[in-house]
Amino acid sequence: MLIDSTLREGAQMFGVYFSDAQRRDILSGLIRAGVDEVEIGWAGQDGLEDLLRHGRKEDPSERTRLTVWSPLRMLDLARLAAMGVRRIQFGVPVSDAHIEHRLGMDRAGLLLRLQNILRRAAELEMAFVGVGLEDVSRADRDFALQVVRVVEECGGRRIRLSDTVGLLTPLETAELVRWFADRTDLAIGFHGHDDFGMATANAITALASGAESVDVSVLGIGERAGIAALEEVAGHLNFRRGAGYDLKQCVCLARMVAEAAGVPMVRNKAMTGEDVFACETGLHLQALAKDPSLFEPFAPEKIGANRKLGLGGKTGKTAVRQAAHRQGITVPSHGIENLTCGVRLLSQTLARPLFEEELRALAMTADSAASSSESCHVP
């Protein structure tokens, strides 16, 4: 199960300010993509009540569940209940550094506060209460387990294991998830940051190791290096596990969020980059012509992308001949080497692959390019 946090974690990215209209559009897109749950914001955030109404209007059946994040404060709980929030995810620091330096408390005080707030949430008849174990990757596990026991006793439904500064590797993530799964019947979620580029791998590993849900955001945006990317995790779950997320919608969301957040769309970024189905290497071009699955994990049409084949300095005679044939260009056998040489030289001069019209122009002058072949060995 995917919990998207673009509107909470993503909105905390440095310099990102979504307008109300953009927040509504993002939420609508997430609902259309079939995301299981959306963390729509945090307690005290402006416009939260309007966004909650918009989400319920877009999805009356509430197939996509809407959750709000909150710190452990009675006042925030009361305000969220008053505006009709029925699903709350509390953030609870469990490492001593966070408890002491951030909250100014000790372990006993934190447990008492958590107990009191969870009991109050039960009195308010909250439909769902989850508790995030913040900085659990640096916490004393025995104490973290004490927090879990309070959640169990007070009617909580889920714990979320948070790798707050992205320290874990996939192997460590698997061990952490299994450790808690062996000790509680609560649903387990995972929230991993990408400070060392591990977030997507850790999220997928968490799901394979017993976690029921993982947090993602569109393009992985969030604090610092962000978290796992929605489109990457959803793509993996679709193609490896038969999930049913709308990947075309995920890619559309990525473009929308990139523009709204001022985040560049990297051309070779997994799932969303414009060049992830581009090729100009000779051996790969030959293989793609025979069977695209030899060098593609799935068909580009699955995400609304197009295959882009180019000719350049890395291209051999066979690939040039195939490209000419696709365009209806007849090249005599004695001219293919000259044409290939011309393709390589022009590509190197322009420092890019060639367009179709440039190949046609070169084909017309292939015979006259014989002199060039002396400085261009074509295998």
Q: Please write the tens of the pLDDT for every residue from 255-285.
A: 999 999 999 999 999 999 999 998 877 677 7
For residue 167, give Cα distances in angstroms to 162, 217, 225, 326: 10, 19, 12, 50
Q: Do 115 and 177 sit in the same domain of this protein? A: yes
In the prediction, which pLDDT does 376 show?
Answer: 57
CA distance 218 to 251: 9
Residue where the block lists tokens 């673009």? 6
Q: Do 254 and 284 sit in the same domain of this protein? A: no
Q: Do 252 and 291 sit in the same domain of this protein? A: no
Q: Do 256 and 362 sit in the same domain of this protein? A: no
In the prediction, which pLDDT does 368 show?
Answer: 47
In 208-273, at which residue ranges do the beta strands (DSSP E only) sit? 213-216
Q: Do 98 and 215 sit in the same domain of this protein? A: yes
CA angle (106 as vertex; 104, 109 as ends), nearest 5: 100
Q: Name the token pair of 28.
A: 């609508």
- The candidate with the shortest Cα–Cα distance to 27, out of 44, 43, 47, is 47
Residues ≥6 apart with Cβ < 8 Å to 37: 1, 2, 3, 4, 64, 65, 66, 67, 213
Instruction: Work out whether the CA dihedral 197, 301, 216, 23 comes out positive or negative.
Output: positive
Residue where the block lists tokens 């997928």? 204
- Listing DSSP states for 91-158 in one string gives EEE-SHHIIIIIS---HHHHHHHHHHHHHHHHHTT-SEEEEEEETGGGS-HHHHHHHHHHHHHTT--E
Instruction: Give the CATH number for residue 118.
Output: 3.20.20.70
Residue 67 domain flag: yes
The low-confidence residues of the chain, meaning pLDDT below 70, are 282, 334, 356, 366-379
Instruction: Work out whether the CA dihedral 205, 206, 210, 213 comes out positive or negative.
Output: negative
Residue 45 domain flag: yes
Q: Which domain holds residue 157?
A: 2-261
Q: Name the token pair of 187.
A: 């649903």
Question: Where is the domain boundary, 261, 292, 318?
Answer: 261
Residue 368 domain flag: yes
Q: Name the token pair of 204.
A: 């997928």
In the prediction, which pLDDT does 259 show?
Answer: 96
- pTM of this structure: 0.88
Question: Where is the domain boundary, 228, 261, 294?
Answer: 261
H helix or E strand, kind and range, residue 289: helix 282-290
CA distance 256 to 19: 13
Q: Please write the tens of the pLDDT for every residue from 47-87.
A: 999 999 999 999 999 999 999 999 999 999 999 999 999 99
Secondary structure letter of residue 66 according to DSSP: E
Tell me if 67 sits within 8 A of 39, measured CB to CB: yes
Instruction: Determine whether 185 is exposed, middle or buried from the number of CB atoms within 10 Å of its CB (0-12, 13-18, 19+).
Output: exposed
- CA 15 to chain centroid, in Å, comes to 20
Q: Do 156 and 190 sit in the same domain of this protein? A: yes
Secondary structure letter of residue 353 according to DSSP: P
Q: Do 171 and 80 sit in the same domain of this protein? A: yes
Instruction: Work out whether the CA dihedral 113, 116, 120, 121 comes out positive or negative.
Output: positive
CA distance 310 to 287: 14
Q: Do 233 and 283 sit in the same domain of this protein? A: no
Q: Do 229 and 311 sit in the same domain of this protein? A: no
Q: Please write the tens of the pLDDT for every residue from 325-362.
A: 777 787 777 678 778 888 888 878 888 888 767 777 78
Residues ≥6 apart with Cβ < 8 Å to 296: 277, 288, 307
Number of domains making up the chain: 2
In the prediction, which pLDDT does 344 show?
Answer: 85
In 141-225, at which residue ranges do the beta strands (DSSP E only) sit? 158-163, 187-192, 213-216
User: Within 13 Å, how many C-alpha atoms sit on residue 182's CB side?
Assistant: 7
Tell me if 214 sits within 8 A of 206, measured CB to CB: yes
In the prediction, which pLDDT does 378 show?
Answer: 54
Residues ≥6 apart with Cβ < 8 Å to 329: 359, 360, 363
Instruction: Determine whether 267 is exposed, middle or buried from the number of CB atoms within 10 Å of its CB (0-12, 13-18, 19+).
Output: exposed
- Alpha-carbon Rg for the chain, nearest whole angstrom, is 26
Q: Do 236 and 312 sit in the same domain of this protein? A: no
